[in-house]
């Protein structure tokens, strides 16, 4: 091709683009045209203007770049803008969407942790719809305390004298430390200075609470004498932290809670334990590894325990502090309580969840997180086979779908070293990489979140309630 030709053609293109741009309709013209459009006509004016403005800008850019057919009339361009705005409207979905958890992690922090029991969901809806006696004492007609909504059940279930609830477990620990040890020392074993996901680092949280961290022992071994030797006039409390997401194995010693509680009593110092997951019931009844039970830790002598509402408890995001009444009262009077308190929806869901534990012999029947953890390999095999059939009807025949044995996790730092037997669908395609298949599943409706193991895309069934959850569609 000769250079003269090229520049001639480029000039013609530029002229065509300039002509098209001169025909660009105004926002007002587009608005008038959009009034008769079914979809755009049905939405609020402000939003309609917003969609048309951005569609107009996109069409302008495309015309200027010569990237679309030079339109022959103003009406044609307006129609282009309307079509573009209508497409933007159609693809406007809520940012927070339901997804399928095929990651094999039951309490997946990034996917919102515990699914709620139906009664907890109903309680949220009821509390959202009508005024509630959140801080109103119906007997006296006077002001009430929102903790009383859950305190009785929490005490009955844990054996604690009192309990208070805040936004999450990090907040529970923050307010406990700030109340008991602001400007003074809290003694912690070096083996328990944890960092868990999502920027929770114990030493940093302690610094924010105003408590001074006094480390004792070594990474793998801490002895009673280490704690006793560190106690001085500045000591405010002894803190034990459940090493949620890791294990120290081999040549190790830790001071058991009972022993630490005895040291605390001897020195008149409160002993607190951050449990993290904090089970209400013994998970070994489902063949799962033993996870600390809140009631056991209170019985073993902890003056305070902190744990999450949305981990093994299977309720909403919340942080619970349970323990001695005098300490809980002090925490409640801390101004931070006002900043960290939880709302009526959370309390409604938490109360409904606790009620299940108190009233049912088998809470796993009603609490999804426990139900998912309880399922045995035979049940999962059945779900996997059914899920395979559902997916086979939705993927083209080029895909291979195989049921395989897999290993799932409880998640949220509970028993990280312990894998629980599960079943998964392994999905392969001769021409597509595992990453490409994973991306295709993320674009499905609803999106399916799986994981890649041994170079293949897998959907683990442990955290998927039943096969129908995989009746998804794949947009073209
Ligand atoms: C999970 C966890 C936390 C943080 O709890 P959130 O409810 O996520 O704030 C703190 N400590 C331990 C030991 C944990 O396992």
Domain ranges of the chain: 3-91, 100-108+373-470, 116-366
Secondary-structure class of domain 100-108+373-470 per CATH:
alpha beta
- From the alpha carbon of 317, which atom of ligand 1 is closest? 7
Residue 253 CB-density burial (10 A; 0-12 exposed, 13-18 middle, 19+ buried): middle
**CB of 200 closer than 6 angstroms to any ligand 1 atom:** yes
Q: What is the pLDDT of residue 245?
A: 67
Q: Do domains 100-108+373-470 and 116-366 have the same CATH topology?
A: no
User: What's the gap in Å between 197 CA and the centre of ligand 1?
Assistant: 9
**How confident is the prediction along the chain (476 residues), in pLDDT tens digits per residue?**
455 555 677 777 777 777 778 888 999 999 998 888 889 999 999 999 999 999 999 988 988 887 666 556 788 888 889 999 999 999 888 999 999 999 999 999 999 999 999 999 999 999 999 999 999 999 999 999 999 999 999 999 999 999 999 999 999 999 999 999 999 999 999 999 887 766 778 899 999 999 999 999 988 899 999 999 999 999 999 999 998 766 777 888 888 999 999 999 999 999 999 999 989 999 998 988 888 999 999 999 999 999 999 999 999 999 999 999 999 999 999 999 999 999 999 999 999 999 999 999 999 999 999 999 999 999 999 999 999 999 999 999 999 999 999 999 998 866 555 789 999 999 999 999 999 999 999 999 999 999 999 999 999 999 999 999 999 999 98
How far is Cα 103 from Cα 387, in angstroms, rounded to an integer? 15
**Would the CB of 168 count as within 6 Å of ligand 1?**
yes
Looking from the CA of residue 172, the nearest atom of ligand 1 is: 9
Nearest CA, atom 14, ligand 1: 276
Give the chain's end-to-end CA distance (angstroms, integer): 39
Report which protein residue has its CA nearest ligand 1's atom 12. 276
What is the pLDDT, as a whole number, of residue 1? 45
Query: Which CATH number is 116-366 given?
Result: 3.40.640.10
Question: What pTM, to 2 d.p., does this model score?
Answer: 0.91
């Amino acid at each position: 091709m000769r250079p003269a030709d090229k520049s001639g053609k480029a000039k013609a293109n530029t002229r065509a683009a300039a002509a098209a741009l001169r025909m660009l309709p105004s926002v007002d013209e587009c608005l008038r045209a959009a009034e008769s459009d079914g979809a755009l006509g049905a939405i609020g004016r402000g939003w309609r203007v917003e969609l048309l403005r951005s569609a107009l800008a996109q069409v302008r850019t495309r015309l200027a770049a010569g990237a679309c057919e030079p339109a022959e009339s103003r009406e044609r361009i307006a129609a282009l803008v309307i079509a573009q705005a209508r497409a933007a409207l159609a693809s406007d979905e809520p940012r927070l969407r339901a997804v399928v958890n095929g990651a094999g992690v039951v309490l997946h922090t990034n996917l919102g942790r515990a699914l709620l029991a139906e009664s907890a969901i109903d309680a949220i809806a009821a509390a959202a719809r009508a005024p509630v006696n959140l801080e109103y004492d119906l007997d006296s007609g006077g002001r009430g305390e929102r903790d009383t909504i859950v305190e009785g059940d929490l005490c009955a279930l844990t054996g604690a004298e009192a309990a208070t609830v805040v936004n999450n477990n990090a907040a529970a620990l923050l307010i406990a430390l700030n109340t008991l040890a602001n400007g003074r020392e809290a003694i912690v074993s070096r083996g328990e200075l944890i960092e868990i996901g999502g920027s929770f680092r114990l030493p940093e949280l302690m610094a924010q609470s105003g408590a001074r961290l006094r480390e004792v022992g070594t990474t793998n071994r801490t002895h009673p004498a280490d704690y006793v030797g560190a106690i001085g006039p500045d000591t405010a409390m002894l803190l034990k932290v459940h090493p949620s997401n890791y294990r120290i194995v081999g040549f190790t010693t830790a001071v058991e809670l009972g022993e630490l509680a005895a040291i605390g009593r001897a020195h008149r110092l409160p002993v607190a334990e951050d449990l993290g997951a904090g089970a209400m019931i013994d998970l070994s009844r489902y063949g799962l590894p033993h996870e600390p039970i809140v009631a056991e830790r209170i019985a073993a002598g902890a003056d305070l325990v902190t744990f999450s509402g949305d981990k093994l408890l299977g309720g909403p995001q919340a942080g619970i502090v349970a323990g001695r009444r005098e300490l809980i009262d002090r925490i409640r009077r801390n101004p931070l309580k006002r900043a960290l308190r939880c709302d009526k929806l959370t309390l409604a869901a938490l109360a409904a969840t606790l009620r299940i534990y108190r009233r049912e012999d088998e809470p796993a029947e009603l609490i999804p997180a426990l139900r998912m953890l309880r399922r045995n390999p035979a049940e999962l095999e059945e779900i996997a086979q059914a899920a395979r059939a559902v997916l086979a009807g939705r993927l083209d025949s080029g895909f291979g779908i195989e049921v395989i044995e897999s290993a799932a996790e409880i998640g949220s730092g509970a028993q990280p070293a312990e894998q629980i037997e599960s079943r998964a669908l392994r999905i392969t395609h001769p021409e597509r990489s595992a990453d490409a298949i994973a991306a295709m599943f993320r674009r499905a409706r609803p999106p399916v979140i799986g994981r890649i193991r041994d170079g293949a895309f897998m959907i683990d069934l442990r955290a998927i309630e039943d096969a129908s959850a995989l009746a998804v569609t794949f947009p073209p």
